[in-house]
Amino acid sequence: MDQHVRRRDGNPRTWLRTIIGLVAAAAILCGLTGCGVFASGGSTENASERVVKDIDDAEVRVPDNPSRVVALSEPTLDAALALGVTPVGTVSGRGQNSVPGYLADKAKDIPLVGGIGDLDYEKISSLEPDLIIVDGTSVNNRPDVLEILRQIAPLVFCGYAGGPWELNFDTTARALNLEAKGEEVKSAFRDKVSKGRAQLAPTYGDKTFSIVRWQGSGPSLILKELPAGQVLEGLGLKRPQSQDREGRGHSDPVSLENLSTIDADYMFFGTLGGASQANPHSDSTSDREGAAQALETAEETSGFTDLSAYKNHHIITVDGSRWTSTGGPLLLNGIVDDILAELA
């Protein structure tokens, strides 16, 4: 068990046994008193239910119309909001102390139940969820964590880090019984990308574009499998040869000795509040102001001002919570809007 996942004591088996014991006791009590529950989310046996398949085709019994949804990752929170569902609980954005910055206008009032990989089970349980949605960007498909969450409420595992965003979104829409709405959201996004590609092709069809997340004192690359990389590919914007590849589902650190590999004709430059592995909760921000501050740090790094993107004034600061992390259709639409605002 990850030391950052909070529990009542230091032994995950003790905490899990405690939860299972409470669920068993509740089931016995309900059997004596005539009440009925399915899972521990508090739904009665008369509630309308259905069976959905998660990303691994495992069948999960969920409410027909869940009303107390907890979203434990950036992609599932984004997807729920895009579908018109406001969760009753969520996690902070990675490298941030609040909800993901790009979702603040829609999610700022949603209670936090921890951060990425830093879940507070008691807070989650106190919200009495009737559905939990999560994916590999937060719990990385850890059986111990997933089993604890399943004792709290029906849980649908929606996707994996670095996977196609549509799969995560489709699974979330299926869990929320909003598949038709999901198809509308995807269709509108495809139309926006198609129109944007036609706008950009005449001027930028032969240019290359880099996406850099500056974390701590050095850069990482956002490669083709991450949302921002998928958007660039959809818009027909080429990557330099060093970045024309997929990574491992997260940003790819670059040593300062290989700084030239972040260069391109144009560079989208962001940060997650200056966060790094050594300092995951920096006090600086992840928005464009934070990116401007990070750029000042980068300018002091040997070799950075020699990059062609810098010398040609082609570095574009961006909101790192949107560009250098992960999410769903709201994030993707925001990236398209940012690109068109800068280049079209």
* In a domain? residue 22: no
Q: How far is CA 64 from CA 120, 156, 168, 344, in A?
A: 27, 14, 19, 44
- Residue 77, token pair as written in the block: 């929170």
For residue 191, count other CB atoms closer than 10 A to its CB: 10
Are the C-beta atoms of residues 298 and 270 closer than 8 Å to each other? no
Interatomic CA distance for residues 70 and 59, integer angstroms = 19
Same domain, 76 and 116: yes
pLDDT value for 79: 98
Are the C-beta atoms of residues 37 and 44 closer than 8 Å to each other? yes
Show which of 122, 145, 179 is a domain's final residue.
179
Interatomic CA distance for residues 42 and 130, integer angstroms = 7
Are the C-beta atoms of residues 115 and 124 closer than 8 Å to each other? no
Closest CA to 82 of 276, 313, 331: 331
The string of DSSP letters for 235-261 reads: TTPBPPGGGSS--SSS-EE--GGGGGG
Same domain, 143 and 219: no
pTM: 0.84
Residue located via tokens 């068109």? 340
- pLDDT by 10s per residue, the chain, length 344: 333 333 333 444 444 444 444 443 333 333 333 333 334 344 444 469 999 999 999 999 999 999 999 999 999 999 999 999 999 999 999 888 899 999 999 999 999 999 988 899 999 999 999 999 999 988 877 889 999 999 999 999 999 988 889 999 999 999 999 999 999 999 999 999 999 999 999 999 999 999 999 988 899 999 999 999 999 999 999 999 999 999 876 789 999 999 999 999 999 999 987 544 444 455 558 899 999 999 999 999 999 999 999 999 999 999 999 999 999 999 999 999 999 999 99
* In a domain? residue 12: no
Phi, psi for 310 (deg, rounded to 5) = -70, -50
The range of the structural domain enclosing residue 318 comes to 201-343
Same domain, 241 and 171: no
Same domain, 120 and 226: no
Same domain, 163 and 284: no
Same domain, 67 and 162: yes
Show which of 146, 179, 212 is a domain's final residue.
179
pLDDT value for 217: 82
Interatomic CA distance for residues 304 and 53, integer angstroms = 48
Same domain, 117 and 175: yes
* In a domain? residue 25: no
pLDDT value for 126: 98
Q: How many domains does one find in the chain?
A: 2
Show which of 124, 145, 179 is a domain's final residue.
179
Same domain, 119 and 75: yes
Same domain, 239 and 333: yes
Rounded (to 5) percent helix, strand, coil in the chain: 40, 15, 40
Query: Considering just the CA atoms, what is the radius of gyration of the chain in Å?
Result: 22
Cross-strand partners of 238: 208
- Residue 88, token pair as written in the block: 């009753």
* In a domain? residue 11: no
pLDDT value for 12: 41
* In a domain? residue 284: yes
The string of DSSP letters for 127-147 reads: T--SEEEE-TTTTTT-HHHHH
Same domain, 64 and 173: yes
pLDDT value for 118: 86
Are the C-beta atoms of residues 128 and 68 closer than 8 Å to each other? yes
Interatomic CA distance for residues 132 and 119, integer angstroms = 13
Alpha helices (runs of H) in 176-247, residue ranges in sequence order: 179-204, 227-234
Cross-strand partners of 282: none
pLDDT value for 104: 95
Same domain, 174 and 210: no
* In a domain? residue 293: yes
Same domain, 215 and 121: no
* In a domain? residue 31: no
Closest CA to 272 of 96, 99, 62: 96
CATH code of residue 130: 3.40.50.1980
* In a domain? residue 6: no
